[in-house]
């Protein structure tokens, strides 16, 4: 098991990537205020956006934007490629400490295009409301709203046929936290009856990429990697939770503290199989392994995929970390295929 426990060593990274990381960290630090608020104009200078494009890219992927609920500014970007047969749906929640980025951010536009090809799926990237303007549970509410929209309204005809009964909820970092809570809430409230006019969105799997869970406790990996690993440290993490959690709540709030010593997290019988991606140089790794262990204790299938030398948000840098990026894409493809196969009835 890869772990940072007992280590305080320098993280070895290529210098061009270190330069990118310095700019990335400077942008976060400059825009996060001590009270948890965000200077959105300043961050917009760093956060390059991509527009939806119906023209296929080199991999054959097109994109279009849909409005889910205009009253709350909720929309999503849909990534698709031609297919005569119904494809599974991946509902994606981007990271950014609950406060930053968008479904239109170039990094996430590129990542979702990759997932579209890797999973052979239509990807619906949710532009959920950000904190601190919209604290928890707003992002969870938005995630549920998108699933209801898929079941009731569906996607534009030009996207092609989709199978909403084979849906995967996926997220990275803060988006991984959102993906868990959306899956937890959805499986606790939906029925299993499907009709032609009202297809039920069935969750076939959950993929959490370095998800953000926390508590008032500081884990060994958080202590060992604080100030050593790039991107995420306790100060940035605490500011994100301060912005996201309800006013006056601490990190033992159920939104953050999913894994408790008493194993309190409630999971419905229908909670789907999960894949949890863990980075060996990510301060969150202890929380992520505890989460997977909690799922297993509750009788849920949980696959842990370890990346021993991966920093938090390593998937932002495929040009520098090509091997890990290929492995991540391959693991997601294998997990999706396995979940689809296990869902099919036996002869």
The pLDDT tens digits for 90-111 are: 999 999 999 999 999 999 999 9
Pure H helices in the chain: 15-31, 40-44, 106-119, 138-152, 174-189, 220-225, 234-244, 285-297, 322-343
Q: Which fold has domain 15-343?
A: Rossmann fold (3.40.50)
Q: Which of 152, 150, 149 is nearest to 164 (CA)?
A: 150
Task: Look at residue 266 in the predicted model and tell me its pLDDT.
Answer: 79
Give the integer Cα–Cα distance in Å for 107 and 90.
Answer: 17
Q: What is the mean pLDDT of residues 17-38?
A: 93
Task: Yes or no: say if 85 and 161 are a contact pair by the CB < 8 Å rule.
Answer: yes
**DSSP designation for 13:** -
- The lowest-confidence range among 1-5, 143-147, 302-306, 323-327 is 1-5
Q: Mean pLDDT, the chain, as a whole number?
A: 93
Q: Say what the pLDDT of residue 36 is.
A: 86
pLDDT single digits (tens) 196-232:
445 689 999 999 999 999 999 999 999 999 999 999 9
Task: Give me the active site residues, please.
Answer: 173, 282, 312
Q: CA torsion sign, 275 to 277 to 278 to 283?
A: negative
In the prediction, which pLDDT does 134 show? 98
Strands 274-281 and 203-209: parallel
φ, ψ (nearest 5 deg) of residue 277: -95, 125
- Give burial (CB, 10 Å; 0-12/13-18/19+) of 28: buried
Nearest to 166 by CA among 347, 342, 303, 329: 342
Q: How far is CA 89 from CA 142, 168, 185, 251, in A?
A: 17, 6, 18, 32
Give the rounded percent of residues in the chain with a pLDDT score beyond 90. 87
pLDDT for the residue 190: 72
Residue 193: pLDDT band (50, 70, 90) is: low
Percent of residues, the chain, with pLDDT higher than 70? 92
pLDDT digits (tens, 9 = 90+) for 58-80: 999 999 999 999 999 999 999 99
Query: Is residue 118 a contact partner of residue 157, using CB atoms and an 8 Å limit?
Result: no
In contact, 120 and 88? CB cutoff 8 Å:
yes
């Amino acid at each position: 098991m890869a772990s940072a426990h007992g280590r305080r060593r320098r993280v070895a990274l290529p210098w061009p990537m270190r330069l990118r990381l310095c700019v990335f960290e400077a942008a976060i630090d400059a825009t996060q205020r001590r009270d948890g608020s965000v200077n959105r104009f300043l961050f917009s200078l760093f956060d390059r956006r991509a527009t939806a494009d119906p023209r296929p890219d080199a991999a054959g992927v097109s994109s279009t934007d849909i409005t889910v609920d205009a009253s709350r500014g909720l929309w999503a970007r849909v990534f698709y490629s031609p297919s005569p047969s119904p494809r599974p749906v991946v509902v994606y929640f981007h990271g950014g400490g609950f406060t930053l980025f968008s479904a239109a951010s170039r990094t996430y536009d590129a990542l979702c295009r990759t997932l579209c090809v890797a999973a052979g799926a239509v990807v619906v990237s949710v532009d959920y409301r950000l904190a601190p303007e919209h604290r928890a549970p707003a992002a969870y509410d938005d995630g549920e709203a998108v699933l209801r929209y898929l079941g009731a309204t569906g996607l534009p005809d030009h996207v092609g046929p989709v199978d909403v009964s084979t849906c995967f909820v996926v997220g990275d970092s803060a988006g991984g936290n959102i993906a868990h809570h959306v899956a937890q809430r959805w499986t606790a409230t939906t029925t299993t009856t499907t009709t032609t006019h009202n297809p039920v969105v069935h969750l076939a799997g959950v993929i959490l990429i370095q998800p953000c869970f926390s508590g008032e406790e500081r884990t060994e990996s958080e202590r060992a990697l604080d100030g050593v690993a790039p991107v995420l440290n306790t100060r940035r993490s605490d500011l994100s939770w301060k912005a996201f959690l309800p006013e006056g709540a601490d990190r033992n709030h159920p939104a953050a503290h999913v894994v408790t010593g008493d194993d309190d997290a409630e999971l419905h019988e229908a909670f789907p199989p999960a894949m949890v991606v863990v980075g060996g140089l990510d301060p969150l790794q202890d929380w992520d392994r505890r989460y997977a262990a909690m799922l297993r204790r509750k009788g849920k299938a949980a696959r842990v995929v370890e990346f021993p030398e991966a920093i938090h948000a390593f998937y932002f840098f495929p040009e520098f970390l090509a091997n890990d990026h290929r492995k991540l894409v391959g693991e997601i493809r294998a997990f999706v295929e396995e979940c689809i196969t296990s869902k099919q009835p036996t002869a």
